Amino acid sequence: MKRVLFLAAAILLAMSGASPAHAASQQVFWTFYGWYDNTPPGGDIAYPQLHDTAGGKGTWSDPITFATSSKEAKPGTKIYFPRVKKYFVMEDSCSSCEQDWNGNGPNGGPRLWHFDAWIGGKGGNAMNAIDCEDALTDYHDDGKPVLEETILNPPSNLTMDPTPIFDTSTGECYGGAKPKTTNGEYKNVSTGKCLQGGASGAQLTTATCTGAASQQFKFHGAFMEQGSPQLCTTLSSGKVLLKKCDGGPAQQWSVNPNQTISDMQYNTKCYRDASGKVTAASCSGDAAKWTFTAAS
């Protein structure tokens, strides 16, 4: 009921002259990105419009940067996202959004509307920032992305909440959201063997699934961890290694609905079982797919 009333109010405002008459509602899959997982890390944007670098407060006059395919929304397009009660402006590109729109991307498609919202993060903890991004990204239990009402070309007087999406000083995430955390084993669809870790600096391998501690991985945000102290899976010269966690781009991964585990920076390199060694290479075929079983 609230969603229907909200859209009706938006349309009435548009008709009254508070905004362009072409205000419209669109169901969109929302993800989030920031300083530490931008490509490259930092504030660079592909289509500067109101900002030279990614930013914004979320008001009508200073909307927050969002990224998507220019085929979905032209640079400079303003939108309003009711869940966080903020305005956004299209100023950046997004590789997974392009893939979801143009073909069968990591989240679906073709023609899947996918917007990626800037949360900032500079000066804050990298892992906390990326955990927040994950916490705010919604999937159904079957792994399909949740689509949410978004107002394209919105009126100028909708409710704006000044609460930051990610508070760099406290590490708090909007609405108190917490990252989804899983712990368990990953079995390769092609070989039927399980992902297996080892010592720091060692390349991941695959082996017969036994449920051993070396085959249990914790995943949260963008980080796959194992051991105590925690080591993170890390992309290094086409190999996937275990190294000390630093939150850097080489340690950022996306576990996707299509069963791949891809690098977050470009979404083009995936975990593969290569004769018992785990590499980061092509995302095609069953060798790049993994089924997850939660630890008992």
pLDDT confidence of residue 229: 86
| Residue 72 and residue 31 share a domain | yes
**Per-10-residue mean pLDDT, the chain, length 296:** 38 38 90 94 97 98 98 97 98 95 92 98 95 95 94 97 97 95 97 96 97 96 92 97 95 93 91 98 97 94
| Residue 216 and residue 69 share a domain | no
| Residue 205 and residue 122 share a domain | no
State how far the alpha carbon of 180 is from the alpha carbons of 123, 139, 194, in Å: 23, 10, 22
CATH number of the domain residue 235 falls in: 2.80.10.50
Question: Final residue of a domain: which of 156, 176, 196?
Answer: 176
Instruction: Print burial letters for 42-66: b (CB count within 10 Å at least 16), e (below 16).
Output: ebebeeebebebbbbebebeebbbb
Judge if pTM exceeds 0.75.
yes
| Residue 224 and residue 96 share a domain | no
Burial tier of 169 (Cβ tally within 10 Å: 0-12, 13-18, 19+): exposed
Q: How far is CA 140 from the centre of its chain?
A: 15
pLDDT confidence of residue 291: 98
Token couple for 199: 């010592």
The domain of 45 spans 2-176
Token couple for 31: 């993800």
- Is the separation of the CB atoms in 47 and 91 below 8 Å? yes
pLDDT confidence of residue 4: 36
| Residue 199 and residue 56 share a domain | no
Provide the domain count of the chain: 2
**E-state strands within 124-193:** 147-152, 181-188
